Amino acid sequence: MNRRRLLRAALAVCLAWLSWVVAPAEAEALGGAQIPLGDLAPEFTLPTNSGNGEVALADFRNQWVVLYFYPRDFTSGCTVEAQRFQRDIAEYQARNAQVIGISADSVESHAEFCDAEGLEFPLLSDPKGAVSKAYRSWLGAMSLRHTYIVGPDGTIQARFLGVQPVIHSREVLATLDELQASS
């Protein structure tokens, strides 16, 4: 079990490094051609470890949604990224924004991860990658480290491909400020 977790962590680190080094064009990424900004975000309903057991994008209409895809629970980069989003959660709430994480991990893994890291935002389970594929954030057997900001009208307003977990939450907040100031 520990060896498997180490292999997953090593793979996640390699994928994160590769997506950072291969600076993709604005509309391209490892997961494929990206959905154009301004287009409707793909709708979804996925199981979660929080609330009533399911979360749908439609649940957050009239709110900003920070939808972040990540490779695996308990890996170093994913843990740092989640910790930073949690650290800044009050700032997201002040901006009428909901943070949602998606990976291929199970609901049980998400529950353990949230408990271990004190995460108060939902993590959704996408084991077959259906939603990750719809957002072009899937590679092989896991989600890529991509983030999308969905506007209150349900359209994709911004995207971040191959993010750096340590500074990512602050980048997202700055972009939310820009988007909200221009709307």
- Catalytic machinery residues: 78
First to last CA, the chain: 49
For tokens 């957050």, name the residue.
60
Beta-strand (E) ranges in 17-164?
45-47, 54-56, 64-69, 97-103, 123-125, 138-139, 142-143, 146-150, 156-161
Output DSSP code: residue 46: E
